[in-house]
Amino acid sequence: MDVRKGIFFLITCVYIQIFTSAHTSRKLYTDKWVVHINGSSVDAAALATRHGFVLNGEVFKDMYTFRRVGLPRRTSVSSLGITEKLLKEDKVLTADQVLWKRIYHRNSFSVNDRLWPDMWYVHSATRPSMNVIEAWKSGHTGKGITIAIVDNGVDINHPDLKANINNTLSYDFFDGDKDPSPDNPNESHGTKCAGAAAAVCNNTICGCGIAYSATIAGIKNNNGGTSSDIEARSLTHRLNEIDIYSNSWGESDDTDFGGPDDIVHRAIMRGISKGRSSKGSIYVWASGNSGPDDDCNADGYVNSIYTIGIASVSHHGYSASYGETCSAILAATYGSGRTNIVTTNTYGRCDKMFTGTSASAPIAAGLISLALQANKNLTWRDVQHLIVETSSLEGLTDSHIVNNGVGRKD
């Protein structure tokens, strides 16, 4: 990606559809057969018993359901041999193993959260779309995936977060305990990030996190400053239980190169090699808000090949005015718009003015959670490739889009 570019691919959930299709389009066979009998119900019962079935009722005249004892209720493997034996019977006209079909309700998506109308960035009318509602409708809401919000604290008692907080996985690396709540309630940054990623949905309170069924691990690793050992520990905390580490912080790179020193770099390396049972921890990083005159290539966290650098675009489809530009950015999500991003705030409050790449990064973490729910075997590199392959420039506005060295549009 050319370092002069001010526009980036918008992450969509097309990559979720790629992997869910492998699960939803594959045929699933049940332990039942529909058998057309040229005979009476007595003949059907006798036939079922002879072939190891239980007669499960009459669908309509002469069509009966047989359930085969000992077979799994659903399997991807058909029992063709059983069907062939049934068809050899003189009284059997047809015999078909019953398929399991996944049903999608073709209704509109609406929830009762108070700020749902302000969540323009997930509504179907917003273009380009991140396809979030489409993923939710398909059943992918982040369930079973854990996102660590690595920040200045998370209000674990917020009513729109509490149900998704895992207190066992959460940790405060300053006080050495499992309560990562900010020392000062006015320090709301981490709580806002948590809400953008995984606030509870349909509970009448604030809004919906992108992965509203995901688990949140609040990890407090800074309070206006931090140290390398705390950084390293926070980025390797519970590696096999946390899937994604969302980071909306970094050193200043305005006048000098900033980034992870050796111990932090080693921690990230350990995460991508050992995390998630060796599939690799996923590190999402906000690209920074110092504007186009700054260059996030100088940010060693963002330009690491082991992290996913995320920029912001506005609801108009432009690169955010505060956004930094660099070749290290992998993709963008929405970060500012009509009412900015809906989220949670300290003191149990709601907020619809969260903005910046700090908002975009947890949104990206939420999107990745949806993909991981669809396919938990994705490695850290798989996730990066999916973002590259499926993020889209369609609907984004910039006059400097060119083809890069491998023929992709930048």
Handedness of CA 373, 376, 380, 384 (dihedral sign): negative
| Options 160, 189, 248, 360, the catalytic residue | 189
Buried b (16+ CB within 10 A) or exposed e, 26-59: eebbbbbbebbbeeeeebbbebbeebebebbeee
Contact 15, 387 (CB under 8 A): yes
Closest CA to 314 of 389, 254, 395: 395
CA gap 298, 292 in Å, rounded: 13
Q: What is the DSSP string of 38-72?
A: SS-HHHHHHHHHHTTEEEEEEEETTEEEEEETTS-
Tokens of 187: 């320090």
CA gap 11, 170 in Å, rounded: 28
Closest CA to 286 of 244, 332, 247, 258: 247
Contact 334, 341 (CB under 8 A): yes
| Options 118, 151, 172, 253, the catalytic residue | 151
189 is catalytic: yes
151 is catalytic: yes
Q: Rounded to the nearest 5°, which phi and psi values hold at 255? A: -120, -10
Tokens of 77: 């493997």
Contact 234, 221 (CB under 8 A): yes
Q: What is the DSSP string of 195-226?
A: HHHH---SSSSS---TTTTSEEEEEE--SS--
| Options 358, 360, 369, 391, the catalytic residue | 358
Contact 248, 358 (CB under 8 A): yes
Closest CA to 193 of 364, 321, 329: 364
Alpha-carbon distances of 58 from 33, 100, 262, rounded to whole Å? 12, 19, 71
358 is catalytic: yes
Q: What share of the chain is helix, strand, coil (3-state, %, to 5)?
A: 25, 20, 50
Tokens of 326: 């660099």
User: Which residues are the active-site residues?
Assistant: 151, 189, 358
